[in-house]
Chain A
Amino acid sequence: MGFFNIKGTVQPLTTLSQLGKKPHTLLVPQIEVEASDRYRGLHYNDLELCIGCGNCSTICMNKAIDMVPVEGIEPKKGDSGLRPRVDNGRCCWCALCVEVCPTGSLRLTKDYIFVSENPEDFLWTPGVSNPDGYQRASFISTPQTTLTELHRVPMPELEGEERVKSFAEVVLGYTEEQAREEARRCLGCGLCTEACPEHMHIPEYINAIAAGNDEDAIRIIYDNNPLPEMCGKVCTRRCEEVCAVTKRGEPLAIRWLKRYAIERAETADILYEIINPEIKPDNGFKVGIIGAGPAGLTAAYYLKLKGFDVTVFEATNKAGGMITWGIPKYRFPVDSLYKQIEYMEKVGVKIKYNTRVGKDISFEEIYNNFDAVFIGVGFQVGWKLGIEGEDLEGAMQAINFLREVNNVFLKDENGNFVRDEKGNVIKIKEPNKIVEIGDKVVVIGGGNVAIDAARVARRLGADVTILYRRRVKDMPADWEEIEGAEAEGVKIIPQGIPVKIIGDENGHVKKLVYLKAEMVPDPKGGRPRPVPIEGSETEIEVTAVIAAIGQGADYSFIPDKFKEKIQIERGRIKTNEFRQTGDPKIFAGGDAVNRTADAISAIADGFRAVKGIEKLLLNKE
């Protein structure tokens, strides 16, 4: 064999030297090897941190994640009560669920061995099936790695110094680019929809904005909210409180996005053209609505669409209720308001202005002439402070103060204002002529009304101090409003309880005396209570004291025989889920019904009352 290859035969044999070496593979019983610190093994979920937003389920294209109820976890505000359940037979451990989890509760662990004879066992709820998985969590999401965009597109605003010079709108609104960018942050989980009293279709309209379909967004918004421009500017936005992104970052600017969408329709005509509402033919029923506030207008609009003949009785010369009279114009300009009302009137809502029920027309007359009545009168009367000196000249109710100031803006003939090309009031020539408040104003209270009053007083040229019983963080007012007030130079004195107002010889307020308070934890677990500190009386010089500690309703227009039937408890009208009162023909909504006392709840009431009225008159479920 001439081609016998000696090297080729001997060389492979040298590998026999490997025989003596320790094997570097592992023997069969030793199958459990510690996985690396970044291993993508079985899931673990921190059940407390998880809010059940379902993003993990949405991103998973293997359909390996279902959202299921878990024992011991109840749905609550900002938590769907559901938790992800992973089908380990479908999971491919790509860990996209971890990357999109806005809270960071979902993680993958180092565990990779799971044996069971029962196929059902492979469906497991991370965190419930492996409560101790926390210790072995390996592939985790941090604020640096998460795919959730944590930072909001900043809203352009007027500078603090510029703001106090006029009543021009402070918030300038997103540009198209900014709105698209902000809308693209939305994860689409819909926790906001649950939190919104009106259950607006938030993920849907944000999606439309993100995709560039602003007109679609407007139509989606108008599906259950006829006053979106108002909501887009001044809503209390419970939706943003529960936004899934909040857990680690700033919530979606849901309110500003709605504002952006609605501002695309510049006039009521364009709005009508876009929405092109389908108005059903007259069904022969008449509904009377008392009060053209958010609740009344909502009920009126949707009833009209459904073919009812609607008449709204409004005591003043402008529709809108508190959003017209209570909210300062730097937050909600006159034009925005008019646009919405004009659109409603185009649809066919009849508003009778300057018609005060109980004076210009009796309640009984409305009750007898209409097939159903909706009461949406709101809270018009401010609560008294209950301290000495409250009746002195210069002590006033915030709500009256705001009404006076807004009244000026609504009267176009007033020559005291210079308007810019948009028609916004930009300069006040003689600010003190509107309401005499002097230059040292103290506002008492910590809610949105207090902040509004303070910021308005600041615009009228006064130095303003807010006196609040509790800490700043306890203030029920919107945090953006508080920040806005501070930026405009409003001083806040927290933990101060007013004791008395001292007047001068002319009967005008001169000094306000208050006690400092300390916060005492509530033994029952409620929020801490302020307790005055003995001997801590402090005086401040004042030229006006504005009380903003709450409001109540005035039901004097309702005759006693109806009052008995509709049941008024502690200032509020009792209603069922359809906002129907003790008298089946009478419905009610707005501040007079719900505790939250904000516009979006009022809109929700109006919307529910429409269903109730439909059920009552058309016998429709």
Chain B
Amino acid sequence: MRKKATTIYLGPQHPGITGNMMVRLEVEGDTVVKATTHVGYLHRGFEKLMERRNWLQSFTIVCRICVPEPDPNEENYARAVEEIEGREVPERAKYIRVLVLELSRIQAYLLWYGGQAASTGLYTMGQWSIGDRNYILDLFEDLTGGRVYHMYIWPGGVRRDLPKGFKDKAFRVMDYLEKRLDDYDRLMFDNAIFQKRTQGIGVIDPEKAIEWGVVGPPLRACGIRSDVRIDEPYEVYDKLKFEVPAFKGGDVWTRALIRRFEIRQSINIVRQVLEQMPSGEYYNKIPNPHKWALPPGEAFVKTESARGEFAYYVVSDGSTHPRRVHVKGPAYVHAITLLENLLVGQNIADVSVIMNSLGTCPPEIER
């Protein structure tokens, strides 16, 4: 007997903790037969807004393109502007930028821990990881003056130097987190329920992954080692020692393992940066922002965010305002094409598990 398909609307209010988007599911029984994503609930027109703002004013909104991980946006924008203008960035500023980017990656993964675990019903994990994430946010507060939106990495360097006592505090937080990760392992990765809910779910075929343009942890979980930090090192990543994991498997579980591995790498990077950071200037001062015009030109820059390659294409027509800023976040691929394909044949209960494992982030889909 053929079952009749039912339509279910997942979202738009935060399916999982990914932000406002909607997935329309056609299900037969418990099984998804068709998934259609609907975005547009978070469209704030950042790219267009930037055309009306001058080069410095634009810097304050790029961070808002991705709520869980704003810093790659700031770094990308700053680096694109510097590339067009040919502005030198002091070495110390580059180290501070890497510090911020890696702290940002850690806090993004901690947020992901909570989301991924909660989507399988393991809510304790979220309470722990969000609580521990606060220690990173405290570091951000000390360093940048803001907890979530830092508006700290700007063209020419960073806004302020490291405050007094920051290094010690950062080392303490890193030591604490490293210890805590073992607790996380026991609660989450050793957990039979979590294993059963994630292994063999949402499998991405490596060939398809490349075809679709999958990036970041989901790609590395297909056994393909690809990371902008290694492939095209930016800032001072070429001076740091770290490994990029790649495991075969392609399912939610492998993607989780990749992140579990990477967060430890990031902690090590933070330590290296704090140890190696040279003294000196932290900022190559930009001119008066009201009359700061860039020479005509364009720049394409990318960083490795916690969810994968994050790219900016910036065009200057020689005026005080950007002519065009185009943002390409990883979620654009992951949360539309990939998600629609992966969901077919899955259980309804696994939909948000898969969404979380892909790092769905609607604000960067609708810049």
A184 within 8 A of B: yes
Q: Produce 1/0 per residue, A11-31, CB < 8 A to B.
A: 110110010000011000000
Is the CB–CB distance between A187 and B151 below 8 Å? no
A61 and B187 alpha carbons, distance in the complex (Å): 46
**Contact at B288–A92, with CB atoms within 8 Å?**
no
Q: Contacts A5-B195, A61-B53 known; A15 to B288 CB distance under 8 Å?
A: no
**Does B1 count as interface, using CB distance less than 8 angstroms?**
no
What is the bound-complex CA distance between A25 and B126, given in angstroms? 13
A36-B145, A38-B144, A39-B141 given as contacts; is B190 within 8 A of A149 (CB)?
Answer: no
Report B287-323 residues with CB < 8 Å from chain A CB.
Answer: 287-293
- Are A92 and B145 in touch, CB under 8 angstroms? no
Distance, CA A14 to CA B189, complexed state (A): 13
Cβ–Cβ contact B145 & A186, under 8 A = no
Inter-chain contacts of A59 with B (CB < 8 A): 56-57, 289-290
> Residues of A contacting B193 with CB < 8 Å?
8
Stretch at the interface among A93-101, A572-580, A582-590: A93-101
The size class of the interface chain B forms with chain A is: 35 or more
Task: Give the chain B neighbours of A58 by CB distance below 8 A.
Answer: 290
Inter-chain contacts of B183 with A (CB < 8 A): 15, 18
Q: Choose among A9, A24, A94, A184 the residue that contacts B151 (Cβ–Cβ < 8 A).
A: A94
> For this complex, into which size category does the number of interface residues on chain A fall?
35 or more
Return the CB mask of B91-134 against A: 1 if under 8 Å, else 0. Answer: 00000000000000000000000000000000010000001001
Are B191 and A11 in touch, CB under 8 angstroms? yes
Contact of A96 among B57, B131, B190, B195 (CB under 8 A): B57
A-side contacts of B134, CB under 8 Å: 25
Q: Does A207 contact B (CB under 8 A)?
A: yes
| Residues of chain B from 5 to 61 with CB closer than 8 A to chain A in the complex | 49, 52-53, 56-57, 60-61
Contact A24 B287, CB 8 Å, known A12-B191, A39-B145, A59-B57: no
Q: Does B163 sit at the interface, judged by CB under 8 A?
A: yes
The A-contacting residues of B in range 176-206, CB under 8 angstroms, are 183, 186-187, 190-193, 195
Residues of B within 8 A of A145 (CB): 159-160, 283
**Which residues from 175 to 217 on chain A have a C-beta closer than 8 Å to any C-beta of chain B?**
183-188, 207, 210-211
Q: Which partner residue on chain A sits nearest B50 by CB separation?
A: A61
Interface residue A581 (Cβ < 8 Å from any Cβ of B): no
Considering the complex, give the chain B residue whose CB is closest to the CB of A15: B187
Q: Are the CB atoms of A37 and B142 closer together than 8 Å?
A: yes
CB <8 Å contact, A5 and B192? yes
**A184–B145 touching, CB < 8 Å:** no
Q: Which of B58-86 contact A (CB under 8 A)?
A: 60-61
Residues of A within 8 A of B191 (CB): 8, 11-12
Question: A40 an interface residue at 8 Å Cβ cutoff?
Answer: yes
Looking at the assembled complex, report how far the CB atom of A454 sits from the nearest CB atom of chain B, in whole angstroms: 37
- Given contact pairs A9-B192, A187-B290, enumerate 11 new A-B contacts (beta carbons under 8 Å): A7-B190, A15-B183, A35-B141, A38-B145, A61-B61, A100-B290, A145-B283, A147-B285, A148-B288, A185-B288, A211-B291
- For the complex of A and B, the 9 pairs showing the least CB-CB separation, nearest first, are A8-B192, A11-B190, A94-B60, A5-B192, A38-B145, A40-B145, A184-B291, A36-B141, A11-B186
